[in-house]
Homo-oligomer: A and B are copies of this chain.
Amino acid sequence: MQRSSIIVAGGSGKRMGGPIPKQFMLVKGKPLLCWTIEAFRAFDPAMPIIVVLPEGQIAIWKALCIGHGFLVEHDVVSGGEERFHSTRNGLAVVKGDGVVAVHDGVRPLVSKELIARCFAAAEEHGAAIPVVPITSSVRLVEGDSSRAIDRTGMRAVQTPQCFQVALLRAAFAAPYDPAFTDEATLVERTGTKVHLVPGEEKNLKVTTPVDIRLAEILLS
């Protein structure tokens, strides 16, 4: 089945406390986003990889690719206001049917094995996402009070979220809902059950300076 990947890198870098968008932060001397693209290219040397970036960052990204001699083949499309719009813009350039992975640009540590697992599960089940157990105790804040909640059945969702292209297109035909959290939830609303596959502890979402340092270790 034809495979494509959409790597969504829409972050403005606010949580990093600096002016550099987090997907451009240097990890071992190279922008974070390069590592993520390389992970997908390592999985499949020929698959289309569509990178979605805010319009205002595309020229910077191209300059960074030249500056770092980053030659891994990928397409770039302009993102939208929210993650929803960015994924939709990426999906608009996916050709044909088959399956598509939607991945966070700031998850550079995804393994080839995990990408393969998610694609295979989406081919079989229509929609598949990686999840990991939640290891800390969890409380739910309700007004000015809170209560412990059972974490046993709870799972933290990672990416790549993989879908049969036709299903994802049908899901994104819906109008934008501010309650959008991830692609899986959107697909689910069209009646498709989302299959869960085991994620990876090390597949972290790099969103803080501490994460950057951890990513550097894990990529060593």
Interface residues in chain A, defined as those with a beta carbon under 8 Å from any beta carbon in chain B: 131, 134-142, 145-149, 153-158, 181-182, 184-185, 188, 193-194, 196, 201-202, 205, 207-208, 210, 213-214, 217-218
Residue of chain B at shortest CB distance from A133: B141
Query: Contact check: which of B142, B146, B156, B213 meets A138 at CB < 8 Å?
Result: B156
Q: Which B residues touch A142, using CB under 8 A?
A: 153
**Chain B residues whose CB sits within 8 angstroms of the CB of A205 once the complex forms:** 135-136
Cβ–Cβ contact A136 & B148, under 8 A:
no
With A137-B184, A140-B154, A213-B218 given, can you name 5 additional A-B contacts, CB distance below 8 Å? A138-B157, A139-B196, A149-B154, A201-B210, A202-B210
- A194 CB, nearest partner CB in chain B, Å: 7
Q: Which label, helix, strand, loop or mixed, suits the secondary structure of the A interface?
A: mixed
Query: A196 contacts B136, CB within 8 Å?
Result: no
By a CB distance below 8 angstroms, the chain B residues around A145 are: 193
> Given known contacts A153-B142, A213-B217, is B182 in contact with A135 (CB within 8 Å)?
no
Q: Are B182 and A156 in contact (CB under 8 A)?
A: no
Q: Chain B: which residue is nearest A139 at the CB level?
A: B155
User: In the complex, which residues of chain B have a beta carbon less than 8 angstroms from the beta carbon of A156?
Assistant: 134, 136-138
Using CB atoms, name the residue of chain B closest to A194. B146
Please give the distance in Å from A158's CB to the nearest CB on chain B.
Answer: 7
Q: How far is the CB of A209 from chain B (nearest CB, A)?
A: 9
